[in-house]
Amino acid sequence: MDSSRIIRDLPPTLQTDVMYELCAKHIRRVRLFSNCTEMLLRHMVAQFFVEILPCNQIIYQVGDIGHAMYFLTRGRVELLRKTNVVVRALESCHWFAVVHSHLSPSTLRSATLRCVALCRLSIAEC
């Protein structure tokens, strides 16, 4: 069953409550957002959606336009450079998206991000 669809079917206030419970602790781990008020975090998570991706799914590729910030809430991903060399592996409770990509949507991705296990992502699109 698609958890995003279940959340979308809830009343807006309850959607925000559920997303806050799913995402707030992960967002607070990011230095940029660590001192945000609960009200600001609730506003942020109201813009998020959850996506479940299978192993080997490409989340984004080198050259893609940066249009989202991702919070890995479950699973494991690998960051690959242009030569497909794994530069870094990230596990649950990490976030990724170069901050300037989030603030300037025209910035191109400089790496590929691939799931190496079943992943649950909380995604905020610009």
Q: Helices marked H in 29-97 — which ranges?
A: 38-45
**Owner of token pair 């192993």:** 55
The predicted pLDDT at position 85 comes to 87
The predicted pLDDT at position 101 comes to 43
The whole model's pTM is what?
A: 0.72
Q: What is the CA radius of gyration of the chain?
A: 15
Residue 17 has pLDDT above 70, yes or no: yes
Dihedral, 109, 25, 92, 65 alpha carbons, nearest 10: -10
Q: Which CATH number fits domain 3-125: 1.10.3720.10, 2.60.40.10, 3.40.50.300, 2.60.120.10?
A: 2.60.120.10
Q: What pLDDT, in 10s, does the model give residues 20-66?
A: 887 788 788 878 888 989 999 888 888 888 889 999 999 999 888 87
Residue type, 4: S
Residue type, 52: I
The predicted pLDDT at position 105 comes to 52
Closest CA to 24 of 57, 73, 63: 73
